[in-house]
Amino acid sequence: MERRRAMRVPVRGVAVFYGEDGAMHGRIENLSESGALVTVGTLLSSDETFDVELKLGVDTGWVSARPVRVERLARKLRIAVAFDQLEEPVRVAIETAIASAIRAAQRRPILVIDDDIPRRVDLVTRLVARGMTPLSPRTPLEAIDLLTRTQLHVDVCLFGPAITELRVLVHDSFPWVRAADISEDLDATVDRALEAWSGTDVARLSSAIA
């Protein structure tokens, strides 16, 4: 358990950095009790320590953090921070987020969105047989609700051929989600799902904790 707490695990959340010249919003990429990796659009001035608001699903807490590394990407920046202080409520929230990521790595959730009900039911059965946990929402609203539940770590979506508008919405709003097509060849569809899953951060976590 101590090793898992020290591990950087993929966690979806928001970090807001507050410095002398304003606030900086970022998306959490991974998290541990000692620090986090956050993608941001720009940097604040060279404050050595920031007050950081962590938003992890329904949990919110404050930490004191200092930057230890900055990576420059094509259009963004990735900043690694080390936490200087962790109050107990924040520690509990981080532990809860880490536990959720570990459960997702073991469950391997996949969202199945298809208007063809018999095909969808057959596909869900095949995914379960291959060790996945398929989630099959009945409406687009349910699909979005599942994707916004960060503790579920739904990083793969299978889309039926008639699903177009929702696919665009997922692509634009959830850029980390890997999409794959549902075809009449369901064995090939399951293979595509497994391949998409294997490239996710949560899948890499699964290998690390095995």
- Model confidence pLDDT, tens digit, residues 21-43: 788 899 998 898 889 999 998 87
**pLDDT (0 to 100) of residue 20:** 79
CATH architecture of 2-101: Beta Barrel (2.40)
**pLDDT (0 to 100) of residue 208:** 58
Pick 44 or 165 by higher pLDDT: 165
**pLDDT (0 to 100) of residue 6:** 55
**pLDDT (0 to 100) of residue 16:** 93
Reported as a pLDDT band with limits 50, 70 and 90, residue 209 is: low
31, 98 contact by CB (below 8 A) = yes
38, 25 contact by CB (below 8 A) = no
Domain extent listing, the chain: 2-101, 108-209
Nearest-angstrom CA–CA distance, 112 and 105: 18
CATH 3.40.50.2300 fits 108-209, yes or no: yes
